[in-house]
Structure 1
Amino acid sequence: MIVLIPSYEPDARLVDLVRALRTADAGLTVLVVDDGSGPAYRAVFDAARALGAEVLTQPRNVGKGHALKAGFAHIEANHPGAGVVCADCDGQHSVVDILRVATRVRDSQAAMVLGARQFSGSVPARSRAGNAITRRMFALATGHRLHDTQTGLRGYPASALEWLQTVPGDRFEYELNLLLEATSTHREIEEIAIATIYLDGNTSSHFRPVADSVRIYAPLLKFVGSSLAAFTVDTVALLVLHALTGSLLVSVLGARVVSSAVNFAINRSFVFDHGRSRRLGAAALRYYALTLALLTANLASLWVLTAAGVPLLGAKVATEAVLFVASYRVQRAVVFAAPHALAAPTGPTSVSPGTPASQESHKRRRSHA
């Protein structure tokens, strides 16, 4: 088992972590990836190397996701068959919890084991709020509930290393992308409870609240933008056609023909990363099958609501709000999924050397797409 620690401008806590890991298990391989910290931090990495860690140095800072993927590639090439546990370098993860996740990776069939923080005690407000928002958005987008979507303590079996390198994202968004990809490709996610540790109000974090939040929420934000554009086209067309024809059926059908063409083009080109990898015909066939199902539900809802006295515009807004979530989930998981994502994954794929967590309940949370 390899412990992978991505590091950018670390302090002595990285050295303390390497020392504690090597003390706990002298045979444990620790791989530190220096994400372009620069000459000012060379002494910290030299100290980690002196304690027996392997240190992989990136020429410039690219981001946590890029550093993790560099580490995965190094492990796959130099430590074939080894699983990996990723941990942060700032003291947020205890050695006890890191080793517990490593043990669970060995024993579990899951493609990903998350160390889920319990957020008890003194937790910075932005960390508590950020995780709560991301957790709810993840559940909304995928239909799967996880306790901690932003944990940096994660374990993966050797069979996942090739897949881990294909998931897009170079910065903090990469770890959320992994969860989204795992649910859409039928990979199991398991969580175990770990301690919540924040030192000095989490001031050592390099997370940028605005820029990195936008990156993390980008998949959902792009879909929201695409849906709003299609909703605007659809609503304008609906009102115009209804004013011209007086027929609700003709208006709904005509408006949907126009708006669905706009929505399909935007989603395939800009929203879903694998949209273009699926053949145009196959994606279009699945998209319009979904459109037909949503159109049926849309029309039925409009008839019911308008018959009950709800104005057409209000009925339209309420209906689209309900169907939005279903549309996103199906498009991400089926319509624009990478071709291989519709089948469950099969069998395994295959520098320089150098306080206990809260009781685990053994309750396993799994996520199946």
Structure 2
Amino acid sequence: MGKIIPIVIPAYEPDDKLIGLMDNLVSAGFSPIVVVNDGSDRETYGHIFDEVKNRGAIVLEHEVNRGKGRALKTAFEYCLNEFEDMLGVITADSDGQHTAPDIKKCMDALGQNPKSLVLGVRNFDESGIPARSVFGNKTTSRVMKLLTGLSISDTQTGLRGISSEFMRYLLTEKGDRFEFETNMLLATKSLGIKIVEVPISTIYLEENKSSHFNPIVDSVRIYAIFFKFLFSSLSSSVVDIALFTIFCGMMRGRSLPFDYIMLATIMARVISAVYNFLINYKVVFKSRSNGLWAAVKYAILAVCIMLLSGALVSFFHGLIPASPEFVVKIPVDCVLFLVSFLCQREIVYK
């Protein structure tokens, strides 16, 4: 390969599996190996880090627990400063899930794809995998594909090959805990970084009891990036429907040159669209595109969705005239919500 590829292992309150992993890596000839002690109690876990250091690892220390994301950033900064001739790093977990042969496979893949993000992916259809891990990984993969367009079979894998250039960018990426790894995946899309998946062994020891991933707290952190879009869209829909209902009540029964439902749709949608654009541009998609050009594309999309909404609501309300207009509007706009999201993701804020 020419350039070196350090192995980075963040560790918080590890057990003897970290020592076993270190032995396997040393036996396989891997070097350098950077281990980050993320605030583990010295009295209880100090001997493990001493053993790792005695086997040749570089051990970096956090005085207090700062999270996996922060530990990875600490290692990235160290490697970028210390290893000038570095292609990138391989990150691995300390809990025995990643083997030396699998790490070697990811290292080879990074060497062949130096500008890509390499993921060591597990097969969650195998038997014997803890139910919480199967559910968590499959759910996150499906949600990510729906909301971002990224098709990743193992979104929570800790075995990754990361180029030096991408590492520099990740030093400024948000997230200090498990959500950092999700943010890393999302960053590949905005930066145009290809993802290369490498099949690895699916290993869960003792039902994965040594994992510090909290299914509730950490899932909330991970899904928070998705909740922002849902909040933006739902709050915009509430504004739109509330204004639509008010305008229908004001114009129903009046002599107007236009269909009152279409007119109410246009007036409500213009106001809610401005609100929605500002939130999506600044908060949700954090678009780097020109604001004016994004606004033009959004306006075109909003007009198309608005006209479709008005036409479809008028059509279906004509079929069931006894029903309130907003009752017809809600299911119509639910379908158009998905259409709008896909267009915003791929065209407006890409």
**TM-score of Structure 1 vs Structure 2, range by shorter chain:** 0.7 to 0.9
Asked if the contact 1:75/1:82 (under 8 Å) is kept, the reply is: no
Match for residue 253 of structure 1?
Answer: 266
Which of residues 192, 196, 205 in structure 2 aligns to 1:199?
A: 205
Asked if the contact 1:110/1:190 (under 8 Å) is kept, the reply is: no
Structure 2 residue 187 is matched with structure 1 residue 181: yes
Match for residue 121 of structure 1?
Answer: 127
For structure 2, the 5+ residue unaligned runs are: 253-259
Q: Distance in 2 between matches of 1:332 and 1:177?
A: 16
Deviation at 1:323, TM superposition (A): 3.0
- What amino acid is aligned across from residue 208 of structure 2 in structure 1? N
Report 1:1-16 matches (<5 A). 1-16=5-20
Match for residue 257 of structure 2?
Answer: none
Asked if the contact 1:238/1:255 (under 8 Å) is kept, the reply is: yes
Structure 2 residue 306 is matched with structure 1 residue 302: no
Report 1:101-180 matches (<5 A). 101-108=106-113, 111-119=116-124, 120-180=126-186
Report 1:200-215 matches (<5 A). 200-215=206-221
Q: How many residues align?
A: 334
Structure 2 residue 83 is matched with structure 1 residue 76: no
Name the larger-Rg structure. 2
Q: Distance in 2 between matches of 1:174 and 1:325?
A: 27
Q: Name the % identity.
A: 38
TM-score by length of structure 1 reads: 0.83
Which of residues 68, 74, 90 in structure 2 aligns to 1:64?
A: 68
Q: Distance in 2 between matches of 1:43 and 1:335?
A: 54
Asked if the contact 2:87/2:114 (under 8 Å) is kept, the reply is: no
Q: Distance in 1 between matches of 2:75 and 2:345?
A: 28
Q: Distance in 1 between matches of 2:299 and 2:332?
A: 19
Match for residue 322 of structure 1?
Answer: 335
Deviation at 1:283, TM superposition (A): 5.0
Q: Distance in 1 between matches of 2:34 and 2:283?
A: 36
Q: Distance in 1 between matches of 2:320 and 2:32?
A: 68
Which of residues 97, 101, 109 in structure 1 aligns to 2:102?
A: 97
Q: Distance in 2 between matches of 1:222 and 1:193?
A: 32
Q: Distance in 1 between matches of 2:341 and 2:40?
A: 39
For structure 1, the 5+ residue unaligned runs are: 337-341, 343-369
Q: Distance in 1 between matches of 2:186 and 2:220?
A: 16
- What amino acid is aligned across from residue 151 of structure 2 in structure 1? R
Match for residue 288 of structure 1?
Answer: 299
Q: Distance in 2 between matches of 1:98 and 1:293?
A: 49
Which of residues 33, 38, 43 in structure 2 aligns to 1:35?
A: 38
Asked if the contact 1:4/1:71 (under 8 Å) is kept, the reply is: yes
Question: Higher RCO, 1 or 2 (CA under 8 Å, sep at least 6)?
Answer: 1
Match for residue 267 of structure 1?
Answer: 280
- What amino acid is aligned across from residue 37 of structure 1 in structure 2? S
- What amino acid is aligned across from residue 233 of structure 1 in structure 2? V
Deviation at 1:315, TM superposition (A): 3.5
Q: Distance in 2 between matches of 1:174 and 1:330?
A: 26
- 3-state secondary structure, aligned to 1:208: coil
Which of residues 224, 233, 238 in structure 2 aligns to 1:227?
A: 233
